[in-house]
């Protein structure tokens, strides 16, 4: 939301007041911070203190490397929940240091500090490295304030606030060349500078400024991140109102955010995960290929079997089969009852599927709504399991399912339990939650957290702590704890594939390790070339799923069963097999990603190469773990342009070596793309011909050494994620200890000796 009309005027209908000076400063009673008293006018004499508003700014040191900043106008305003679950593991002990000088006071929290100017009637708060090595950002003149809408002309109008909106805002400075990234799964430009962004979950597809996953966290290329501590609607002007500032505003009386100093983006994410939680672990089988029935297609047991038989006959192993919405009767979503006409004996059908060996796991689609036509609706309404209107009626509308109600997860008895679709269209007006202490507006975004948490924990209770897997569409801060997420409804176009990549990159920079996409696009009928380009990209995401809307995504339906080497079936078979061979590397990297709170894939290039300015603008390529670079192709011709940072890079397929930093152009058939291995990498692969994702990752493997130097290491894990050993390059250039390797293993060097 813009509050000004250019530099000089307030926006029409807005009245603005700013913190003009730090009149007084006091240490907090617990010794953990400062409280700043900031009038909205400079105080030169006693009479200046009358008939004016003030702002209180509290700066605290929650843990080393982070500071919290809370700005409040009226302290007596209620601060209703829900609130984010912060420090879900434990809150680490921090060390605060406060130093007062003649004209300023500095509070430090480990590596980060804030210096507050306390003289000359100025308002100036600078955030910087404690050792003085780097300035991060600042709150300067007219950067902290509040606004009334409509504009008031007399203080007497504030006697009745029911017809006034009260916003509070802060503006942190943007330095020359600084870029901003994250804020959830956003499909627009990767660098958010110049954009106005509203954090409000919505089902808008991947071609708009709306997002399914709004996360109030962003990373700056200057080495810091900011987490906005509210699930409420947040509006940001990222260099789009004041070109040199990021403005954050909320409707209310207080605004709190944390500033986290890395200085590297990996360190920022690691510290952010202290606040909101580390990603959950996912089982090794989940990295295999998932196949869906698609959305509005007709299918029954014979259709499902024909899909799986067809995939097996084309050497395309399927790990998980997904039953989409119409496993239930139309209008009955979501009552968890199979459509008896299409599936007369679902339990026996699923048992036959698994015993046949065609598929290892079965997944079903759910959403948090309940159609009125389902017999379960009356039961749920009677027991108070559905969200209500303020007059006591069940909240219903005809959006998605006729007369549908919304499960009220604030009622403990309503929580039940896997593809967790939807969860974005949660009303914020004329609603009354079972827990009446909650703010309906904050519940709109927060609903995604409790929805995914309840289903995830139900799966954990049933299958085990590290065996739960979601395919979630809605998210907010903290839902990285309940993996995994997928990109939502994209079109079957190269532009939509690029949108999806930008979305995955942005979400990864908010602490999400695992992400997927509908291969081939969800909407429309992908032509064969798009399907095949998307297959190559999709099998190099952390998780890989074939899913569509009104058409099947099995390869032979896309290209009339082209059986040539460049046909859809052979291409899908090759990329699926490649991912299976990569599993020793993938699953080891997955454990590290969870530990650090960083993305496995899609990992933005700036996470691995933060000192390369180009890496902060690369939105058509990504890293898969710390060693593999992927550049998807968006042209039918196979032409592609990509960037390699400094160092030696080896083509995974050909062994050709290139030297960065530089841009390169290549042309590829459908069975390759720019897939480069970083120097100083030890890449462990399953044996040639391996097609399973779950096997012994230390036996019969191929170990590839890429421009390695003494001290280079890689960690081997087993198929449950437990460490089984470390491979290290010694002074001789050879592996020092090979005892962890079993069976018929081999070692090859790139470049060859």
Q: What is the spatial distance between Cα 249 and Cα 546, in angstroms, rounded to a whole number?
A: 39
Model confidence over 36-73: pLDDT tens digits? 999 999 999 999 999 999 999 999 999 999 999 999 99
Q: What pLDDT score does 424 carry?
A: 86
Model confidence over 590-609: pLDDT tens digits? 999 999 999 999 999 999 99
- Among 421, 439, 626, 690, which one carries the catalytic annotation? 421
Tokens of 247: 């403005």
Is the pLDDT reported for residue 510 higher than 80? yes
Mean pLDDT for the chain overall = 95
- Among 64, 185, 439, 489, which one carries the catalytic annotation? 489
Q: What pLDDT score does 417 carry?
A: 30
- Assess whether 424 carries a catalytic annotation: yes
Residue 551 backbone class (left: φ over 0; alpha: ψ -120 to 50; beta: rest) = beta
Q: Where exactly are the structural domains of the chain?
A: 16-78+85-141, 623-750
SS (H, E, C) 612-665: CHHHHHCCCCEEECCCEEECCCCCCCCEEEEEEEEEEEEECCCCCEEEEEEEEE
Instruction: Please compute the mean of the pLDDT values over residues 392-417 and round it to a whole number.
Output: 87
Is the pLDDT reported for residue 753 higher than 60? no
- Among 21, 229, 267, 424, which one carries the catalytic annotation? 424
Q: What pLDDT score does 752 carry?
A: 60
- Assess whether 124 carries a catalytic annotation: no
Question: What percent of the chain shows pLDDT beyond 90?
Answer: 89
Q: What is the spatial distance between Cα 169 and Cα 146, in angstroms, rounded to a whole number?
A: 6
Topology classification of domain 623-750? Immunoglobulin-like (2.60.40)
The b-or-e profile of 632-643 (16+ CB within 10 A means b, else e) is bbbeeeeebebb
16-78+85-141 shares its CATH topology with 623-750: yes
- Assess whether 491 carries a catalytic annotation: no
Given CA atoms 377, 382, 384, 390 in this order, what sign does their dihedral have? positive
Q: What is the spatial distance between Cα 672 and Cα 669, in angstroms, rounded to a whole number?
A: 6
Is the pLDDT reported for residue 362 higher than 60? yes
Q: What is the spatial distance between Cα 197 and Cα 183, in angstroms, rounded to a whole number?
A: 9
Q: What is the spatial distance between Cα 294 and Cα 548, in angstroms, rounded to a whole number?
A: 5
Model confidence over 409-441: pLDDT tens digits? 999 887 643 446 678 889 999 999 999 999 999
Give the pTM.
Answer: 0.96
Q: What pLDDT score does 421 carry?
A: 65
Class of domain 16-78+85-141: mainly beta
Is the pLDDT reported for residue 116 higher than 70? yes
């Amino acid at each position: 939301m813009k509050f000004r009309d250019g530099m000089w005027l307030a926006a029409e209908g807005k009245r603005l007041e700013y913190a003009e000076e730090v009149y007084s400063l006091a240490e907090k009673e617990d010794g953990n911070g400062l409280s700043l008293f900031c009038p909205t006018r400079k105080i030169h004499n006693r009479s200046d203190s009358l008939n004016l508003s003030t702002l209180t700014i509290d700066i605290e040191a929650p843990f080393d490397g982070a500071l919290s900043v809370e700005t409040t106008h009226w302290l007596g305003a209620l601060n209703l929940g829900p609130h984010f679950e912060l420090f879900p593991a434990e809150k680490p002990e921090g060390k605060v240091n406060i130093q007062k000088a003649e004209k300023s006071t500095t509070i430090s929290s480990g590596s980060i500090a804030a210096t507050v100017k306390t003289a000359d009637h100025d308002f100036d708060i600078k955030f910087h490295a404690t050792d003085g090595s780097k300035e991060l950002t600042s709150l300067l003149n007219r950067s902290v304030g509040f606004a009334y809408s409509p504009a008031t002309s007399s203080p007497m109008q504030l006697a009745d606030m029911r017809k006034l909106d009260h916003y509070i805002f802060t503006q942190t400075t943007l330095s020359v060349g600084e870029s901003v990234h994250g804020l959830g799964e956003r499909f627009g430009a990767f660098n958010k500078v110049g954009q106005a962004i509203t954090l409000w979950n919505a089902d808008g597809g991947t071609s708009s400024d709306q997002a399914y996953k709004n996360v109030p966290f962003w990373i700056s290329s200057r080495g810091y991140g900011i987490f906005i501590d509210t699930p409420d609607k947040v509006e940001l002007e990222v260099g789009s109102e004041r070109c040199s500032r990021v403005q954050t505003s909320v409707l209310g009386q207080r605004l709190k955010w944390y500033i986290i100093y890395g200085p590297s983006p990996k360190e920022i994410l690691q510290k952010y995960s202290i606040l909101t939680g580390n990603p959950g672990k996912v089982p090794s089988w989940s990295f295999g290929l998932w196949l869906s029935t698609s959305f509005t297609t007709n299918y029954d047991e014979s259709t499902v079997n024909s899909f799986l038989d067809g995939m097996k006959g084309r050497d395309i192993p399927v790990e998980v089969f997904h039953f989409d919405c119409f496993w239930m009767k139309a209008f009955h979503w979501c009552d968890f009852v199979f459509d008896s006409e299409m599936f007369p004996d679902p339990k026996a059908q699923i048992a036959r599927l698994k015993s046949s060996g065609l598929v290892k796991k079965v997944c079903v689609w759910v959403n948090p709504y309940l159609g009125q036509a389902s017999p379960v609706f009356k039961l749920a309404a009677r027991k108070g399991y559905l969200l209500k209107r303020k007059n006591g009626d069940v909240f219903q509308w005809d959006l998605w399912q006729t007369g549908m109600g919304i499960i009220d997860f604030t009622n403990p008895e309503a929580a039940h339990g896997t593809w967790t679709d939807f969860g974005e269209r949660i009303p914020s007006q004329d609603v009354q939650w079972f827990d009446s202490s909650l703010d309906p507006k904050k519940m709109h975004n927060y609903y995604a957290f409790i929805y995914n948490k309840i289903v995830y924990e139900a799966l954990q209770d049933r299958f085990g702590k590290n065996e739960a897997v979601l395919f979630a569409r809605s998210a907010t801060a903290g839902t990285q704890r309940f993996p995994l997420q997928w990109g939502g409804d994209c079109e079957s176009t190269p532009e939509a594939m690029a949108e999806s990549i930008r979305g995955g990159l942005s979400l990864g920079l908010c602490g999400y390790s695992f992400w997927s996409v509908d291969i081939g696009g969800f909407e429309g009928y992908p032509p064969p070339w798009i399907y095949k380009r998307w297959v190559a990209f999709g099998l190099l995401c952390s998780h890989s799923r074939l899913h569509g809307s009104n058409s099947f995504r099995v390869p032979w339906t896309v290209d009339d069963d082209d059986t040539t080497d460049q046909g859809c079936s052979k291409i899908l078979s090759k990329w699926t097999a490649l991912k299976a061979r990569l599993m020793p590397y993938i699953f080891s990297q997955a454990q590290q990603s969870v530990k650090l709170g960083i993305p496995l894939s899609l990992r933005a290039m700036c996470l691995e190469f933060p000192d390369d300015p180009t890496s902060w603008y690369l939105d058509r390529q990504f890293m898969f773990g710390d060693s593999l670079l992927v550049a998807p192709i968006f042209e039918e011709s196979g032409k592609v342009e990509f960037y390699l940072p400094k160092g030696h890079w080896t083509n995974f397929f050909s062994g050709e070596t290139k030297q960065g930093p530089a841009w390169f152009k290549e042309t590829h058939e459908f069975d390759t793309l720019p897939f480069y291995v970083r120097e100083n990498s030890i890449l462990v692969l399953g044996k040639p011909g391996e097609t399973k994702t779950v096997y012994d990752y230390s036996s019969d493997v191929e170990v590839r050494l890429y421009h390695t130097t003494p001290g280079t290491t890689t960690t081997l894990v087993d198929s449950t994620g437990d460490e089984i050993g470390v491979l290290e390059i010694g002074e001789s250039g050879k592996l020092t200890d090979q005892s962890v390797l079993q069976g018929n293993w081999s070692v090859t060097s790139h470049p060859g000796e």
